[in-house]
Structure 1
Amino acid sequence: MPGDPRRNLTEGSLARPLFHLAWPIVTIQLLQVTYNLADTVFLGWYDPTAVAAISLGFPILFLLLSVAGGFTTAAAILVAQYTGAEGSEDAGRIAGQAIAFVGLLSIGLGILGVLVTDPLLGALPADPDTGAEVLPLMSDYLTIVFLGTPFIFGFYVFTALMRGYGDTHTPMRIMAISVAINVVLDPIVIFGLGPAPELGIEGAAMASVFSRSLATVAGMYVLFRTNRGPDIALGDLRLELPTVREIVRIGTPTALEQSMVAVAMVLLTALVALFAPPVAAAYGVVNRLVSLVVLPAIGVGQATETVVGQNLGAEKPDRAERAVWLGSAVVGGTMLVVAIVAAAFPEPIVAAILGADSEHTAESIRLGSQYLRIRSIEFVFMGVLQVVLGGFRGAGNTKHALAVALLILWVARLPATYGLAIVLDWGSLGIWIGMSVGDVVGALVAVPWFMRGTWRESVVDAGLTDSPVAIDQ
């Protein structure tokens, strides 16, 4: 398409469209982390105990939200492959079904989350100080966030559908506005600035839910009132059993993968809760930092998912494979640089977040610096793994990604962490080392598995044409 300012995914250069897709995804993920990081920073200046609460509470939140997350991934895969096969009506139908199905599911999960929060927290074994100071704050935060679950997942669905279609820029713009609103609201409601009451951790939860709700409303407007995404009709929201089965078939392994990740995180949280609050604070802060570090890899991995999906839909598996290796090389180099910086300067990085003056601050910074330096060893492996898993998912091979996730968590990370921290009595050092081995093992398994080429078949039927598919500029 000469003169067209858009770049296609199935013909021509791979680097430009891959990274054209990736940088808005990285930005979206960065903005997503900014939601959490804003809460962490403002609460860190308010009370480090509140940081421990939101950090330890996240796995419980993720456990329920991960179920619906798997089905948004399935929708993105199907939309990408139907778009690559020039099946625009099918892409719109899949999108509508995904919105309805995940919407209903998220309502049920939100209600379930509110009901199980206190029983789950009550079942956690905890250090006496952690149980008295941290767990009540966790309950306050999680209850509010679970009430906003449908709004939180509404934007996740919108982003996944637009990514599968090839437009990552529109979600990025909406997300940026939403995060800006959250960053402005956070200090007002946490500290009680002006006429606002001082709500602490509850204020952080309210600000996040409100700003995400605005993003969801804007996203649904784009899908139903503009022509920037899949062509969705209101009738597509009426659930059809065959389509739901297809979404469930592809999405279930990813939902299981994310659920297993969440269960492992809950178990790790229970283990960390056995230690004093400074260990919990260090664990939470560094894990938030790692979630920031991995953003370029997640962005390129999700862009690779779309490129692989559209090229397999267009019956171009060799081009799909080249995209995976290109993304892996770039991400691996980037993560190496980040690892060197993190290993060289861990203390000022951690201290920038844990700034409140309390009895736990100095020890939390010391432990967090130790954890960040050890965790940096994993960064290159983590980056390459994200891109390779994106290749598997784009091909519809979500079972492969599930198998790797189970290996990382249940064969490597959990046993190593428990064995070193509890059995060998290495304490917090055992936690830091155990957490760092997971993605190393995962990458060493996933890369040769991908090289076998068993993923090279599309999960949808290609159309009669093989026209290039464009992505939004």
Structure 2
Amino acid sequence: MRSAASTQKSQQMLNGPITPTLWSMTWPMIAGVATLISFNLVDTFFISLLGTEALAAIGFTFPVTFTVISLTIGLGIGTSAVIARKLGANEDEEARNSGSSALWLSALLVGILAFLGFVFSRPIFAMLGATPEIMPLIDEYMNIWFLGAIFLVLPMVGNSILRASGDTKTPSLIMATGGLVNAILDPILIFGWGPVPAMGMEGAAYASVGSWLIGFVAIIYLLVWRKRLIEPLPPGFVDFWRASKQLLRIGLPAASANMLTPIAMGVLTAIVATHGAPAVAAFGAGARLESIASVVILALSMSLPPFISQNFGAGKIQRVQAAYKTALKLILLLQAGVYLLMLALLPVIQMAFARDAEVARVLALFVWIMPLGYGVQGWIILTNSSLNALHLPIQALLLSLLRLFVMFVPLSWLGNMIADLPGMFVGGVLANVITAFLAYRWFMRETNGQAGRITAANAVATATANEPKGEQHGA
């Protein structure tokens, strides 16, 4: 049975004023995501102290690690959408069963993917363009990363269960704690301290796994014993299979959509690799800077879907559209400020992540051009997550395909052919602008269609209820 606090949060999402409610759900996520990502930047900083080759090695790992993370994110999206809609429709027991099934299903699928990545690691990174000199550094990091990936997936999916119930503060605290632990362990394990030997790239990987392990223990304790949102085990195989099909109907397309990003990043990394290892190092650092520059986008992509799913479950489509438009306006305004801030901090960014002049030069090009498109990129990300929240995963997948492989990769490649790296960055920005406006029109068309269907269904129900009993039975 849901707690009184959980029920109150659901009622706030369904009936409270939209902007204050959305903000109250988002600001804890901003704090948690910002803390986590900032500590990941600290991780990149410490690795950069090992040299340009080590930083380039981390750049090559990004498409692969993000593939595993994308599967986890997709499963979390499916979990949040299914559970939030059930809670909005007051199906509490079904929501608990879905939460239990989600954790076990996620552990199984990510375990399989991580095992395949471990076995085929060298061919994968060779295909991405990693040189023989960099490959040993990649092995040191990824062999440990793959073995610990199971402890990454469960906290992320568990946090989705909490967010679906309207609790965004606890997931934020868990993310921040994990990031803090990672930042503390990084210098100790990478460079050594006291009796702890210096482990280099292996130390960075062990620091990540250690932070995930703490998040795993915390989320299981909260979900099973403290908040009692799930059972330790699904009620039975039949219920597990039924819940898994519901989760996968949204989770697999969402995971596939998220996996398109590292595939596209892999293509772009291979293009950047033709310009040399310093360019790859700068591009990898730029990708991490993009994460912290997009912190509000990421936070809203986690807080907006539960709001949309619960209101969708309650048939309140106008509140869905109003929340979506509010989020888009906020993102566009904030990302304009983020761009100006990044330009002002460019010398500091170069000092932190660039160990030679060429890395600094490419990093400056990245900062001057790519953040121009972060606001409209946020529109696409929020539209994608909102479509999943409406249980329209195929449309979300098609939107991701449109953005990455019809627009982003082709225009980036064309820009690189015309004007090298500056042209590649400009092509990416142009692709985001075009896709953002198409995404907005797509979402509004879908929600207007949903509103029409709900109105028609209500009209039929009202007519049936008002029909005389004798006529209903053909008397």
What's the TM-score once normalised by structure 1's chain length?
A: 0.89
Distance 1:112 1:204 in 2: 22
Q: Distance between the aligned counterparts of 1:68 and 1:447, measured in 2?
A: 26
Deviation string 1:323-378 (CA, Å, 9 cap, x unpaired) is 11111111211111112222x3363142242254xxxx222112101111111210
Where in structure 2 are the equivalents of 1:147-158 lying within 5 Å?
147-158=147-158
For the residue of structure 2 that corresponds to 1:193, the secondary structure is coil
Aligned letter for 1:118?
A: R
Matches within 5 A, 1:20-99: 20-99=24-103
1:378 corresponds to = 373
User: How far off is 1:231 after superposition?
Assistant: 4.1
Once the two structures are TM-superposed, the CA of residue 22 in structure 1 deviates from its matched residue by 1.0
Cα distance in 2 for residues equivalent to 1:387 and 1:118: 35
Matched residue of 1:429: which SS?
helix
More displaced, 55-64 or 206-215? Answer: 55-64
From 414, 418, 442, give the equivalent of 2:413.
418
**Amino acid in structure 2 at the alignment position of 1:414:** V
Tell me, in whole angstroms, the C-alpha distance in 1 between the residues paired with 2:151 and 2:70: 15
Identical aligned residues as a percent? 28
- Structure 2 match to 1:314: 314
Q: Find the aligned partners of 1:56 and 1:431 in 2 and give their Cα distance.
A: 18
Partner of 2:441: 448
The residue that corresponds to 1:465 in the other structure is none
Aligned to 2:472: none
For 2:197 and 2:448, locate their aligned partners in 1 and report how far apart those are by CA, in whole Å.
Answer: 55
Tell me which residue corresponds to 1:366: 361
Matches within 5 A, 1:162-311: 162-227=162-227, 230-232=229-231, 234-236=233-235, 238=237, 240-311=240-311
2:48/2:353 contact within 8 Å kept = yes
Q: What 5-or-longer segments of structure 2 have no aligned partner?
A: 459-475
- The corresponding residue for 2:18 is 14
Deviation at 1:455, TM superposition (A): 7.0
Q: Confirm or deny: 8 A CA contact 1:96 1:233 kept in the other structure.
A: yes
1:379 Cα deviation from its structure 2 partner: 1.9
1:108 is matched with which residue: 92, 104, 112?
112
SS at match of 1:275: coil
Q: CA RMSD in A?
A: 2.5
Q: Distance in 1 between matches of 2:145 and 2:236?
A: 26
Q: 1:24 deviation in Å?
A: 2.0
One-letter code aligned to 1:77: A
- Opposite residue 407 of structure 1, the aligned amino acid is L
Whichever structure has more helix as a proportion of its residues is 2
Q: Deviations for 1:112-131, whole angstroms, at most 9, x for unmatched residues?
A: 111111111223345xxxx1
- In the alignment, which residue of structure 1 is the partner of 2:397? 402
TM-score (norm 2): 0.88
Pair 402,296 (structure 1): closer, same or farther in 2 beyond 3 Å? same
Measure the CA separation in 2 of the matches of 1:66 and 1:172. Answer: 19
Cα distance between partner residues in 2 of 1:406 and 1:35 = 31
Task: Using the TM superposition, give the Cα deviation of residue 16 of structure 1 relative to its aligned residue in structure 2, in angstroms.
Answer: 1.7
CA contact (8 A) 2:72 2:156 kept: no
Aligned to 1:351: 350
- The number of equivalent residue pairs is 449
Q: Which has the larger radius of gyration?
A: 2
Asked if the contact 1:286/1:350 (under 8 Å) is kept, the reply is no
Q: Is residue 92–residue 233 contact of structure 1 (8 Å, CA) maintained in 2? A: no
User: Is the CA contact (8 Å cut-off) linking 2:388 and 2:396 kept in structure 1?
Assistant: yes
For the structure 1 residues 33 and 265, does the alpha-carbon distance in structure 2 shift closer, same or farther, using more than 3 Å as the test? same
Determine the C-alpha separation between the residues in 2 that align with 1:37 and 1:455: 41
Q: 1:68 to 1:175 in 2, by over 3 A?
A: closer
Q: Distance in 1 between matches of 2:423 and 2:266?
A: 17
Paired residues of 2:97 and 2:240 also in contact (CA < 8 A): no
Q: Which moved more, 1:154-163 or 1:397-406?
A: 397-406
Post-superposition offset of 1:23? 1.5
Q: 1:436 aligns with which of 413, 419, 429?
A: 429
CA distance in 2, matches of 1:96, 1:49: 43
Structure 1 unaligned spans of 5+: 463-473
Q: Deviations over 1:266-287 (max 9, x none)?
A: 2222222222121111111111
**Deviation of residue 436 (structure 1)?**
2.6
Matches of 1:394 and 1:457 in 2, distance apart?
13
For 2:360, give the aligned amino acid: I
Structure 1: distance between partners of 2:341 and 2:290: 13
* More moved, 33-42 vs 449-458: 449-458
Q: Is the 8 A contact 1:174 1:218 kept in 2?
A: yes
* 2:145 equivalent in structure 1: 145
2:87 and 2:95 in contact (8 A); partners too: yes
